[in-house]
Amino acid sequence: MASTFPANEPLAIHLRGVSKHWGALHAVDGVDLDVPAGEIFGLIGHNGAGKSTLFKMMLGLLAPTAGDIRVAGASITGRGARAARRQLGYLPENVVLYDNLDGLETLRFFARLKGAPLVQCPQMLERVGLAHAGKRPVREYSKGMRQRLGFAQALLGSPRVLFLDEPTNGLDPQAIRDFYATLRELQSGGVTVIITSHILAELQERVDRLAILAAGRLQAVGSVQELRERTQMPLTVELEIAEGDRAGAVAALAQATGVQSEPTDTGLRLQCAREHKMAVLAAVSALGARVHDMKLIEPSLEDVFFGFSA
C-alpha cells in the first residue's frame, strides 16, 4: 500500500513492514506508508483498528514488533532517536493536564519536558485563543479549553511533524474552523500533520490524503477523490421537477440512459456510474425547462470508508 513519490521529495513519514503484536493480537500488521513533508494526512478506522498504536510507534513511544520507521528523515529508534523526537509534536486522544496549574504554567511544564523555549508559551496560548485564560487554573477550563491547551502543548518546540489524535473532540464549530485554519498556516510553513478523527465529514474537506486502517492493516491510501474513484461508488443526481412533469422525465431519462430514477418530495433521484456521468447530464439537459434545479452528489468519505472497511 506504499505510495511512490519522486526520489527528491522529502518524506515526513516512511514506514515499511511496521507491525505491533500483543501475543496473538495483531494491533498493527505490516504497514507500509509514505507521507511527504507538508501534507495534512488523515488516518481513519473503526475503534480498535490500530490508529493510536501506529501513532505511538511513529512517536517512538512504543517499540514495533517488526518494521522500519523513519519520521522527519530519521529513524525513530536507536541512534539519533532523541533528536528525531524533538521534531515531533503529539496531542494524545486524552491529554493529561494538572488541574492545579494555570494555562501558562501548564505550557511551561511541557516546554521544560520537551526542551522547548519558554518564551514560546505565551505565543502558543495566543495561537489557540487562550491568551485571556493563561492565569486561570486548568480545573476551571471547559472541555474545549482543555483540548486547545493540549493542542498548544503539541505546538511547543516548533515541531516539523504533528500527530493529532482526535484533536477536535469537544471543540465547538468556530473552534474547529480556527483549529483547521491553524493547521493550514502550519502547513504553509512546511509542517506535516497526521490526524485521526471519527468525524469523517470534518476530515473530508480538510485532508490532502488519508489512509483507511482496518484490523491493523492499511486498506487504502489516497486523496478523498482518488478513493472515491477506486471504490467505484455511484454518483447521485437529484432533480427538482414539477409533479406533473415527473412521469415524462422518468421515461425520457430511462430511454436516453437506461438509468431508472425514483421520485422524491421535490422531483427525482437517480444513481449512475462515474463513467456514465456525462451521458446522464446530457439527458438531464435535454429535459430543458422541466428541470428547475439539479444537484450532483459525490459519495461522502463515510460512504468510501464503509466501502473499504466493510
Ligand X SMILES: Nc1ncnc2c1ncn2[C@@H]1O[C@H](COP(=O)(O)OP(=O)(O)OP(=O)(O)O)[C@@H](O)[C@H]1O
**Is residue 25 within the footprint of ligand X (CB under 6 A)?**
yes
Contact assessment for residue 276 and residue 283, using Cβ atoms and an 8 Å cutoff: no
Sheet strands (E) in 120-246: 161-165, 192-196, 209-214, 217-222, 235-241
CB of 91 to ligand X, least distance (A): 13
CB neighbours of residue 215 within 10 Å: 16
Residue of 4, 6, 24, 47 that binds ligand X (CB under 6 A): 47
| Distance in angstroms (rounded) separating the CA atoms of residues 194 and 87 | 14
- What cell does 91 get? 496531542
User: What is the pattern of x (binds ligand X, CB under 6 A) and - over residues 141-180?
Assistant: ----------------------------------------
Q: Per CB under 6 A, which region of 48-56, 70-78, 136-144, 228-236 contacts ligand X?
A: 48-56
Name which of residues 271 to 290 contact ligand X (CB under 6 A): none
Name which of residues 81 to 120 contact ligand X (CB under 6 A): 93
CB neighbours of residue 67 within 10 Å: 17
Burial (0-12, 13-18, 19+ Cβ within 10 Å), 64: buried
**Is residue 27 within the footprint of ligand X (CB under 6 A)?**
yes
**Is residue 22 within the footprint of ligand X (CB under 6 A)?**
yes
User: What is the pattern of x (binds ligand X, CB under 6 A) and - over residues 53-82?
Assistant: x-----------------------------
Q: Please tell me the count of residues contacting ligand X according to CB under 6 A.
A: 12
CB of 31 to ligand X, least distance (A): 12
CB of 212 to ligand X, least distance (A): 11
Which has the closest alpha carbon to 208: 3, 21, 35, 17?
35
Q: Per CB under 6 A, which region of 21-29, 117-125, 142-150, 220-228 contacts ligand X?
A: 21-29
Q: Parallel, antiparallel, or unpaired for β 161-165 and 74-75?
A: unpaired
Q: What is the Cβ-side half-sphere exposure of residue 259, based on CA atoms within 13 angstroms?
A: 26
> Which residues of the shown chain bind ligand X in the complex (CB under 6 A)?
22, 25, 27, 45, 47-53, 93
